[in-house]
Amino acid sequence: MLTDRSVPRFIGIGGALSALLAGLSGSFKELPKFFLCPLTFIAVIPAGLLLPPVYALFMYAAALRFKGQQCSLRALLSLHLSSVIVLELFYLAALFLLGAGADALINSYLQDYLAAAAAHQVVQIGTAEQLAYAKQVILTLQCSGGLWLLFTGFIFCVCACMALKLRAAAAAALGVFFKNLPAFLLLLLITVLAFTFLERSFADFKIEYLKGGALTGAYGFNWSWIFILVRLYLLQAVISALMLAAGAGAGLFKFNFSKTKD
């Protein structure tokens, strides 16, 4: 049984990579089968984005049951209901502020782009104005996504400490989060790079697709739905990796290749 003294644990860079690999592959030996299956993104993404405390407690309760301990989501919610409600309200408020801030910035960039496009009377396909606008939008989304990732990681740390029934779960979660901040930052960096590459590839494809249609009148195969599926797959993997990394930092999980130490 873990004690408060055994928390936090340092999972290291290897732990972060192991968590991400588990999220991508959908396989982790300390969880029941299919709990990380990429095909569950239909449930994981809405739960992870809108109800992260409930999602995390559900996964951590499943992990504890898998290890032979008596634990259920209902029991954890009844024990920590007020804390879960407070966490959820803080999360939704932060999500709203991030979304509103990003939307305001993107609208401002759009107005600047429209003004520049009006002054430059050419077909707006791959122009300098369009590329500058795209870079501004991508940077805004990167910053917003990075802040969301870190905040969600902290919420998962709190939930892991609650699942382990540690005293002063919020204080213990702060220790888990900051001790493993390098791991969370690595996950952030990999996520930003992966989505940036994906979005730039999609933008290049879209430009070529529109150019081909404008010049020849015949559009080729539209791969947009493939990019949508890849985005959903990556988002599900990131949410799962954050949950696993936070749980490992609290001592609930252990990665084979991480330098897990007190």
- Least confident piece of the model among 27-31, 95-99, 117-121, 188-192: 117-121
Name the percent of the chain lying above pLDDT 90: 55
Q: Exposed e or buried b for every residue in 94-109, given b needs 16+ CB within 10 A?
A: ebeebeeebeebbeeb
CA–CA dist 61, 123 (Å, integer): 56
**What average pLDDT does the structure give for the chain?**
86
Where residue 40 falls among pLDDT bands split at 50, 70, 90? confident
Q: What is the pLDDT of residue 133?
A: 85
Residue 236 CB contacts under 8 Å (≥ 6 apart), including other chains: 23, 38, 40, 41, 44, 45, 48
- Least confident piece of the model among 92-96, 112-116, 138-142, 228-232: 112-116
In this model, does residue 258 exceed pLDDT 50? no
In this model, does residue 74 exceed pLDDT 60? yes
Under 8 Å between Cβ of 159 and 177 = no
Domain boundaries, the chain: 4-249
Find the mean pLDDT for residues 54-59: 96
Three-point CA angle 153, 53, 23, nearest 5°:
50
